[in-house]
Structures are given as structure tokens and as C-alpha cells.
Amino acid sequence: MQGIKPASHPYLLELVTMSLANKNILLGISGGIAAYKSAELVRELVRDNASVRVVMTRSAKEFITPLTFQALSGNPVLTDEFEQSESANGMDHIAMARWADAILIAPASANTIAKLTHGGADDLLSTTCLASKAPIALAPAMNQAMWANSATQDNVEILSKRGLLFFGPAAGSQACGDVGEGRMFEPHQLLLSLSNLFNTGELTGINVMVTAGPTREPIDPVRYISNHSSGRMGYAIAEAAHDAGANVQLISGPVSLAAPEDIEYISVSTAQEMFDAVQADIETQQIFISCAAVADYRPVAKQPEKIKKLHDGLTVEMVRNPDIIAEVAKLKSKPFVVGFAAETRELKKYALQKLERKRLDMIAGNDVSDTNIGFDSPENALEVFWAGGHCSLERDTKTKIARRLIGLIAERYANTDKRSNVTVLKNAKDRSQNTR
Ligand code: C5P
């Protein structure tokens, strides 16, 4: 069977914890006694900071109640396409299909496997699978004779050829008293297999520095100048690079997001602090991705006391901040440099100008005139340019856009001359102790 082999080494289990954080996992439950094990799986996923939504088939509800999964996932459980919709346009399956970073059906019954093979869409789970571009994994659970039946085996072969993944089944004693292949993988094995889905390995061992969020330029002790930026795109990029196997350093301005636990994290406030943090370690980096919305100007001096509103007008004298990315691109032995261009019009023209002027290797332009994407939205769309090439990353969640951008960066980076003087980072975990 072509299922992913479970690993038992504790270090690998630790990796699971790291790579499922902030992932949107859609867990499908079909009818089988193994459904009780999926309750533990949801607990583990939530413990690993994944967002979990559960969809149950009608027969799954005969084995375990939706309430159990609702309590454990912290989200309402969806059980039927025709129940009251929670999305505004009444298209739950589409909303779920787009939301999911990965779909895992555990337990996957012989019936569900057969239904997926034939593209059936007569309930919410099968409809969502058909509508989703996310990777789909199945954890089969059934009687050994049902699993061995050539009807099931043929279905498994067809689905495998289509790119669906099979986690298990395992062999052993079964609830029905039989012994053989057909037991569902244990929750920790499923967790490990699921995390492997996100480890693309495209940037294994590469040092990647990412800047994210806004910078704050103080006017006085209570006021500051800043830019719109939630930091979500930069954080998603840092996580995608980490999933791709890179040693990631995330330098972040003030945002309300939690620092990713498994990534070296440096918190800064002003553009000058961000510049200093970048310069301190840029010589060791092979790729630099500047996603931060850096303030171009700062007040000449921060007033020591709060400025009183004594006059109708106020003039604050400003001075240019260092252009962090341009300074990196000027380095004699520069890393592969990726910039962002947030524009409200003529995106292509300004992005290409920036690519050339700042001597970047790649630029990702986003049209921030569309208020539904970009800045504070969970979604984005990017137009990516490099010398002689272009790629449109169509609207999607920031997590998925980030993963596709990292794929593009890895591809372009593989085609360029690598910087020669890079030394491997020290243990990222050790260093992050001092910088949190
Ligand atoms: O010049 P502009 O701000 O439009 O360029 C955007 C790109 O430059 C982004 O990648 C941003 O992170 C970076 N940048 C920078 N330092 C600045 C201003 C922008 O690194 N002072």
C-alpha cells in the first residue's frame, strides 16, 4: 500500500507541532467505529494551533455526535449541505473548499472512497472535496475483507493516480473481531502524515530572512506615524518558507499576531530598528523577502513630552528612513532579494520600475485599491515579476498565496548564481530565546 509510513521518533513528532500551526485543516468524518479516534485527532490538531473545521457524513453521526467535535474544534460542525448555511451566499461547500489548506477524511469508509472515485457529490463532504484544490488525504478504516476487495483496491488506485493521498490503513485486530489490514492510523500517525503534506522541501537548508508588518515612527510619547499592515502576509511567507525546509528569521514590526513558535523571531518597532536587525545578519542569508510596510519618513526627533494642542495646525519635520531593501540589494555579495509593491493604480508599471530601481530579483505587486484583499484581509492576490518573467497568483488565502510565492522564489533562486560567502545559521531556536 502506498500510504505514508508513520514515524515513531519523538523528534519527528516535535516537527508536527511546528508545521501545523495556523494551518486550516478540514477534517471529514465518514461512518465507521474509528470515528471515536478522530476526536483525539481534533484535540491534537487544536493543541498544535491548527484551525479545524469538521464535516460529518450522515452515517458518521450514528457513531459519534457532532457536539463532541464542536466542543473539541471550537467550531460548528457541518453535517449536511441543506442545513442552514453559515456563509452569506449559502455556498458552504465552496467556502469550506477555499478555506482548507488540506482535507483529511478520517475515518474514510469504503463508501466514501467509492463516492470520491466516481466524483459523487450528494452530501457536504463529497461536494467540498470535489470543489477544493487543497490536497486531500484519506485514512481508510474498514473491515479487512472490505479493504482487500478488488472494488476498494481499484478505487484506491484510481484516487492515488489523481493525487489523493492514503494515510494507512494499518494492520491488526479489528473492532469486528477480524485480524488484518484496515485499521485506521492512530491520531499521532495521522498528525505526522498530515504535517508532511506541508513540508515541500523546496528550500531545505536555505537561510531566509523575512520582514513583516508596519514600522512605527514616534512623534511624541503617545503618537506615531505608521502604515497599514496586519503582518499576515509576511508571517504566512515566513511559515511557508519554514515548511519548505528553510532556516527562517522573521523580523517583525508591531502587529497583533502571535510570534510563530518555531521560527527565529525578532521584534522591532521603528524602520531604523528594522534596518539594524536586517543588517546584523544579512551576510548569512541566501534569500531576503521584504514584506514589511516600512514608513518612508520619520519625525526628525521624538518630542520628549506629549505635544499639546495649542494651535490650529501642527508641522512635524520629517526625514527619510533608510531604504532597507535597497541597501540589501546594494551589498557586494547580495542574497536573492524579493520586494513587495503595494499600489493603488498601474501596478505593473510601478512594480517593474521598483524591480529595476531597487535592483531586486523579484517583486510581488498587490493592488491595494481593492479593499477586499491586501492590508487587513485574510486573502490576497499578487502579480509577481522578475527580469523576463511574470506570474499571476490569483486571489486566495494568504497562507496559500504565500506557499505559491515561496514555490516561485525557490524556482527562481535555483536558477540564479548563489551567493558564495554564506555561512550556516546557528541553531535558530537558541537564538530566538534572546530575541523574543
Ligand atoms: O519604495 P516602496 O516603499 O514602494 O517599496 C516597497 C518595497 O520596499 C517593499 O518590499 C518594502 O518592504 C521595501 N521597503 C524597505 N525600506 C523602506 C521602504 C520600503 O525595505 N524604507
| Closest atom of ligand 1 to CA, residue 320 | 21
- Catalytic annotation, residues: 176
Residue 184 and residue 278 in one domain: no
Q: For a substitution probing ligand 1, which of 217, 228, 325 has the most ligand atoms within 8 Å of its CB?
A: 325
DSSP structural state of residue 204: T
From atom 2 of ligand 1, which residue's Cα is the shortest distance away?
Answer: 341
Closest CA to ligand 1's atom 13: 325
> What is the distance in A from the centroid of ligand 1 to the CA of 239?
21
Distance 281 CA to ligand 1 centre (A): 19
CATH code for the domain in which residue 66 is found: 3.40.50.1950
Residue 248 is predicted with a pLDDT of 97
The verdict on residue 218 lying in a domain is yes
Q: What's the CA gap between 159 and 65, in Å, rounded?
A: 29
Q: Do 221 and 178 belong to one domain?
A: no
Residue 8 domain-assigned (yes or no): no
Among 225, 279, 290, say which to mutate for ligand 1: greatest number of ligand atoms within 8 Å of CB.
290
Q: What is the model's pLDDT at position 145?
A: 95
Grid cell, residue 419, equals 551567493
203 and 406 Cβ atoms separated by less than 8 Å: yes
Tell me, in angstroms, the distance from the centre of ligand 1 to residue 389's CA: 21
| Same domain for 150 and 211 | no
Helical ranges in 202-320 per DSSP H: 232-243, 271-281
b (16+ CB within 10 A) / e for 192-207: bbbbbbbebebbeebb
- In this structure, are 61 and 188 located in the same domain? yes
Whether 371 and 405 map to the same domain: the answer is yes
pLDDT of residue 4: 40
The residue range of the domain holding 135 is: 24-198
Mean pLDDT by groups of 10 residues along the chain of 436 residues? 38 48 93 95 93 94 95 91 52 83 97 96 92 95 95 97 96 85 95 89 95 97 94 95 95 95 94 98 97 97 92 94 97 96 92 95 90 72 94 90 95 77 40 36
| Residue having the nearest C-alpha atom to atom 9 of ligand 1 | 340
Do residues 263 and 186 share a domain?
A: no
Domain identity same for 133 and 240: no
> Domain for residue 16, yes or no?
no
Residue 176's pLDDT is what?
Answer: 82
Report pLDDT for 3.
40
CA of residue 435 to ligand 1 center, whole Å: 24
